[in-house]
Chains A and B, each alone.
Chain A
Amino acid sequence: MRRAAAEQRQDLRTSGIGLRQPHMADILAQKPDVGFLEAHSENYFRIGGVPFDNLMRCREDYAVSLHGVGLSLGSADGVKEAHVQKLKTLVDLVDPVMVSEHISWSGHGTQAVPDLLPLPLTAEALEITCRNISHVQETLGRQILVENPSCYVRFPADDGMTEPAFIAETVKRTGCKLLLDVNNVAVSAHNLGYDPLQYIRALPRDIVGEMHLAGYQVNKADGEDVLIDAHNRPVYDGVWDLYAAALAHIGDTPTLLEWDSDLPPLTVLVAEAAKADAYRRQFEQDRHHVKTG
């Protein structure tokens, strides 16, 4: 018996983990105590295939969130209709608790890359992204969340538009929500030289619907450290601090732990999610003290 919508929303009070194929058997057998599972939508587009069948098995016990990586919401020539339709078919079958994508682009014309490329923070890019998001929301018949990107370069911006301003305006125009990837804030802030805390505090409090946490990798480029959004290790202490600051600014928010390469045993990922829950409980306690103190 699949979990109903109200139950699914309740589940979000406990943090979730990214669902990856190598963990599938363990998740189905051990049913770890996590709030929800987040699946990369495109991996399940083939209805009835092995990954899809397993996702539907997971869905019997867990709330599932669908997180797309290939829709290319920032494409100047629009999103691919076939892709939106495949997503709609999947969403209708899975009945996910959340559907999310990225503020980025990955394709144009008849070519694409498996990456989340940054957009210039211009009025034009804003308009295009909003148009694409609205189209997807109308087709799916539901609100989506969009994730702030991790960036290695910055394009010249219009009138010094900042990323938080770009995001806030996107949410305002389309009625979507922000999936605040705290690790991405840390990665971009380091690479592009801004203050991550200031970035988070510049976001309107009520626009965030979910947060992501992950580990980055430190590479050298011409003798300088570049942070890579690799999702291949535990969350860094600095990112936990930023997460605590984000909770303080925004309030308790459904949270997900992502780990995509060099996957650890499932228990490690579950422990990271439990750590996020400890931060959330601490935040609730502190808030309670402030209220009653």
Chain B
Amino acid sequence: MPIAGNSNKTAIMSKLDDLQRDMLRKLIAQEDGGTGGAAPEKNMRIYRNNTRLLLRDMLKDTFPVTARLVGDAFFDTAGRDYMQAFPPADGDMTDYGADFPAFLKRLPGLQNYLYVPDMARLEWAAHAAYLSPLYPPLTTAALSAAAADPLTLKLHVQPHVFLLRAGWPIADLWQKITEAENGTLPALELKAEESFTAVFRDGDRIAVWSLTEGGYAFLEYLQSNPDFPSAAAAAMNAEPGFALDRFLGLLVQQGLLQAPP
């Protein structure tokens, strides 16, 4: 109730505010009923359906393999529940789905299929990699020159490299499903085992690598600190006998390290 004398403006200004608050709440809750005297009320369902279907399709675009693993019916319900638990925060929807892997992990229906949320994590990493910049890569020649003094060597990982540690061989699974013809789900023989994965941009495409624990530890260290000797020590510690030279060669060949600034 506006205070008397506080001009009509306060009362009027609150009208659109109220309408938008009410309509948005109903769209996200998928609640029946009109808003603000809108006519025809039956057409409000078009907006309700648009909200649900557009957000579901957005998730499906970001998590296509996850969607295939759980099937359409399950994905529809999960998409609707996710929309209600984590509605988009603003009109830039690029980050919509960031909480979806963690959301899936808590779903009672997936407790016996915990590779599903791990796959969703991989797909979110792929989404993030796709939207990350490619900086000029470190060349073999530049690495050789810099490696003359390995104790002071600094290595910067490209921002499009994302690392995942999971309880399932998700890189293999992702490969099998994305390569399967005509959208069929290949026969899956999954057994729980610890896996280490790198997801990155290969030009305009996304590539997924299975790593060993040493490679994972090396890159993980470099992502927070470019100091080569410490990263090498972290790799050797995680995997005694780790073939660091060979791995470094692969990283440079794939352009996963940045040229020095």
Contact = CB atoms under 8 A, between A and B. Distances in A.
A154 B39 contact: yes
Indicate the member of B23, B51, B131 with the most A CB atoms within 10 Å: B131
Contacts of B44: 152-153
B188 interface: no
B91 A120 contact: no
B28 A113 contact: yes
B176 interface: no
Interface residues of A, number: 53
A74 B44 CA distance: 18
Interface in A113-132: 113-115, 117, 119-120, 122-125, 128
A156 interface: yes
A179 to B, nearest CB: 17
B195 to A, nearest CB: 26
Nearest to B34: A153
Contacts of B51: 113-115
B130 to A, nearest CB: 5
Interface stretch (A2-10, A79-87, A164-172): A79-87
Nearest to A151: B43
Tell me what chain B mostly uses at the interface: helix, strand, loop, or mixed: helix
A47 interface: yes
Nearest to B15: A124
Contact of A111 (B28, B36, B130): B28
Given A54-B204, A108-B24, A114 B55 contact: yes
Contacts of A74: 16
Nearest to A77: B17
B131 to A, nearest CB: 4
Indicate the member of B15, B19, B44, B51 with the most A CB atoms within 10 Å: B19
Interface string A69-94: 11110111100101100100000000
A189 to B, nearest CB: 14
A108 B21 contact: yes
A171 B185 CA distance: 54
Nearest to A154: B39
Interface in B194-209: 201, 204
A110 B240 CA distance: 49
A48 interface: yes
A122 B15 contact: yes
B39 A153 contact: yes
Given A86-B92, A112-B91, A125 B16 contact: yes
Contact of A49 (B39, B43, B46, B132): B132
B135 to A, nearest CB: 8
A222 B46 contact: no
B52 to A, nearest CB: 10
A241 to B, nearest CB: 25
A69 B91 contact: yes
A86 B88 CA distance: 17
Contacts of A222: 42
Given A50-B204, A124-B16, A152-B46, A112 B87 contact: yes
B37 interface: yes
Nearest to A68: B91
B46 A107 contact: no
A45 B93 CA distance: 10
B94 A83 contact: no
B19 A155 contact: yes
Contacts of A48: 132-134
29 contacts: A42-B93, A46-B94, A48-B133, A49-B130, A49-B131, A50-B201, A53-B134, A69-B91, A70-B93, A71-B91, A105-B20, A107-B90, A109-B21, A109-B24, A111-B24, A111-B89, A112-B87, A112-B89, A112-B93, A113-B27, A113-B28, A113-B51, A114-B54, A114-B91, A115-B54, A123-B12, A153-B41, A154-B38, A155-B19
